[in-house]
């Protein structure tokens, strides 16, 4: 479970899990990651509710928070945001769609998520293929999907199927599990 290592999850942590458990984000990147190290799991509700998530993070003293970018937009913009203490938050995973730089800046400055990571993957690769580091600059976390996980191989091609040089913006064609 390299994704838990990328965000430095340990038995000292409490992870707030507002993402769906029927999806690999909630089940694998959250529940199984916590079980594997003995971290506390905090479920703010049956579905995403920004107020319930904010309350759970503060009341349960969460150190990590998972979510998609729209969750990280809704939480700091919620009318009750100022009523909660986020000083224990440090990291988590933001995934599911590209993260705008302004959303990342708000997560860092207003929610104390200086070490939040970006992840990209598929259920078939169980589920993270790429992930940023807790120390990557914000622009790298919002303009890339991070580094390939060590147990995978990727092939990146242009529209003609030719392998492209590093730095090109193209389609991810294939991920192979070693």
Q: What percent of the chain has pLDDT over 90?
A: 61
DSSP 124-152: GGSSEEEE--TTS-HHHHHHS--EEPTTE
Q: Residue 158 has what pLDDT?
A: 80
**Class of 2-150 in CATH:** alpha beta
pLDDT tens per residue, range 69-107: 999 999 999 999 999 999 999 999 999 888 899 999 999
Q: What is the pLDDT of residues 107-153, one digit of tens each?
A: 999 999 999 999 998 877 778 889 998 999 998 988 888 888 887 88
**Spans of all domains in the chain:** 2-150
Sign of the torsion formed by the C-alpha atoms of 21, 27, 30 and 36: positive
């Amino acid at each position: 479970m390299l994704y838990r290592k990328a965000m430095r999850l340990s038995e000292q942590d409490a992870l707030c899990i507002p993402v769906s458990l029927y999806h690999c984000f909630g089940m694998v990147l959250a529940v199984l990651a916590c079980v594997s190290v003995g971290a506390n799991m905090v479920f703010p509700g049956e579905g995403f509710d920004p107020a319930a998530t904010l309350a759970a993070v503060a009341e349960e003293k969460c150190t990590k928070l998972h979510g998609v970018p729209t969750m990280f937009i809704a939480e700091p913009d919620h009318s009750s945001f100022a009523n909660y203490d986020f000083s224990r938050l440090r990291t988590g995973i933001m995934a599911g769609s590209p993260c705008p730089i302004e959303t990342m800046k708000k997560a860092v400055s207003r929610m104390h998520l200086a070490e939040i990571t970006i992840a990209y993957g598929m259920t078939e690769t169980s589920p993270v293929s790429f992930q940023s580091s807790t120390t990557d600059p914000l622009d790298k976390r919002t303009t890339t999907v991070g580094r390939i996980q060590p147990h995978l191989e990727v092939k990146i091609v242009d529209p003609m199927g030719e392998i492209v040089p590093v730095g090109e913006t193209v389609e991810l064609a294939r991920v192979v599990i070693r």
